[in-house]
Amino acid sequence: MLLKLAAPFLVAIALLVASGCDTAPRTPRNLVLISLDTLRADHLGVYGYGRATSPQLDRWAERAFVFENAVSASNYTLAAHHALFQSKTATVARDAKADGPTLAGMLQEQGFRTAAFTGGGMMSEFSGFARGFDIWDQQNHELEDAVPKALAFLDEAARGDARFYVFVHCLDVHLPYNPPAPFDTHFAPKYTGKVDGDSTRHLLSLRKMFEGRAAYGRTRYDEADRAKVVALYDGEILRMDAALAPLLARIEAADLHDDTLVVIVSDHGEEFWDHGSVLHAHSVFQELIHVPLLMRVPSLEPDAGRIAQRVSMIDVLPTLLELLALPVPAGLHGHSLVPLLRGEPRPQRPAFSEGYAAHAKLQSVTEGDLKLIRDIDTQGVALYDLKADPGERTDLAASRPEDVQRLRALLDAALGTQSVVQDPIGLPDDVDPATKDRLRELGYIE
């Protein structure tokens, strides 16, 4: 017990050794966690994207740890965020949304002031996310709405003595992809076709056709139309990047810089015909579960800055607790990433994800370069070598039965038959009209 309680406080000493500084670095007092909903990693410059979608974030990331291979626990917002905030596999976390310990609750118990500014939709009080927050504000349709509120909280909190945790969430790059000028034409200035921001709502029809469900509305997109859809999504990222800049700059100010741990994540990605469909919540291919994970740790400057080892988003919570020198409770499913931040070896652990589709309950496990996808109803599997085949085009299951058997066993041990296929919204009868309108706007309900 003594060793367990003392372990977090040894982190500050370890950070000093790793940093090579002459003066002892201070353990971060505060935490800012930013969730950029529906942002696939490979559409950011820091992850190698060819378009300049994220100049502000890219510059900020020059002094951050960049996890190149972070895997989300699920393919949709609700389960992915519950898993992130509880360090549990997606189904376990989602089913415990009403009473499972959360990051906000743990920090609140340690005397932190806690505040959240979210984009609503799934990230609403009815989903169980408000637990542990002193301030919960879900009335932010754009990042431009949330950032001024977060800045006001930071200004006030910086003058006080209490430690604080701020969670900022946005749905700026979520369907519909409808950025204002000049972002709407920035990446496709010569397009003259029929696709515009409002019409991207019809992408729901394409996904329903892909899943074998009844479709509605216009569903025909030629090559130019598809390129325009991606250009609108990228325009949303560029707009979001600009809106995020004041928040990142404020944290860089002298009164916060040395004391504030900053983490930027996404919950899931988005498909653009990579495997024949669009949007999210229908597969566990890489375009949906490979997400950005960036960390700026005070007094710990990254040497290389990029961490190639595959990690899970459920590893974030124990990492934050350890960096903040707080007790790490037993029973978490994730494992701290602090050894990787210090440049030390860390065992390579398999990363698990769960998802649902119209006619499938999906699980995936990635170990090393190999990824197995399983439908737990049919027990059908597909095996991919992500190093040789990052696009997941060639199924190796038939030719590598031993690998299939080994990865099946890992899924059986970690997930069993659990699945997040149940109703992803679980909308209560008494939910307020504003929340229903927001869910309708985002395409979750009709």
> Mean pLDDT lowest for which of 93-97, 146-150, 273-277?
93-97
Q: How many domains does the chain have?
A: 1
> Average pLDDT, stretch 118-129?
92
With respect to residue 438, please indicate whether it lies within any of the assigned structural domains. Answer: no
Q: What pLDDT is recorded for position 441?
A: 78
Inside any domain, residue 376: no
- If you average pLDDT over residues 73-90, what whole number do you get? 94
- Output DSSP code: residue 123: B
End-to-end distance of the chain based on CA atoms, in angstroms? Answer: 53
Q: Give the residue from 47, 104, 24, 35 showing the smallest Cα distance to 317.
A: 104
Assigned domain for 371 exists = no
The tokens for 294 are: 């960036």
**Mean pLDDT for the stretch of residues 297-306:** 79
Q: For the segment 334-358, what is each residue's pLDDT rounded down to a tens digit? A: 999 999 998 888 999 999 999 987 6
Long-range contacts of 189-193 (CB under 8 A, 24+ apart): 191/224, 191/227, 191/228, 191/231, 193/222, 193/224, 193/225, 193/228
Q: Tell me, what's the pLDDT at 340?
A: 94
Give the pLDDT score at 426: 59
Q: Is residue 234 pLDDT above 80, yes or no?
A: yes
Segment 125-149 shows an average pLDDT of 95
Residue 8 has pLDDT above 50, yes or no: no
Global model pTM greater than 0.85: yes
Vertex 13 angle, CA 8 and 14, to 5°: 85
Mean pLDDT along residues 387-400: 98
Domain at 93, CATH number: 3.40.720.10
Residue 217 has pLDDT above 80, yes or no: no
- The span from the CA of 395 to the CA of 226, in Å, is 26
> What local confidence, expressed as pLDDT, does residue 446 receive?
66
CA distance 171 to 169: 7
User: Percent of the chain beyond pLDDT 90?
Assistant: 74
* Stretch among 9-18, 67-76, 263-272 having the lowest mean pLDDT: 9-18
Residue the block writes with tokens 């595959």: 310
Is position 42 within any domain? yes
Report residue 18's pLDDT band, with 50, 70 and 90 as the boundaries: very low
Higher pLDDT, 2 or 93: 93
- Percent pLDDT > 70 in the chain is 87
- What pLDDT score was predicted for residue 429? 66
Average pLDDT across the chain, whole number: 89
Q: Which of 22-36, 138-152, 295-309, 422-436 bottoms out in mean pLDDT, i.e. has the lowest? A: 422-436
Question: Is residue 190 predicted with pLDDT exceeding 70?
Answer: yes
Q: What stretch of H or E contains 157?
A: helix 143-158
Using DSSP, state whether 107 is helix, strand or coil.
Answer: helix
Cβ contact 115:165 at 8 Å: yes
Statement: residue 204 has pLDDT above 90: no
Provide the residue range defining the domain that includes 79. Answer: 2-178+227-350
Residue 204 belongs to what H/E stretch?
helix 203-210
Give the residue-averaged pLDDT of 274-282. 91
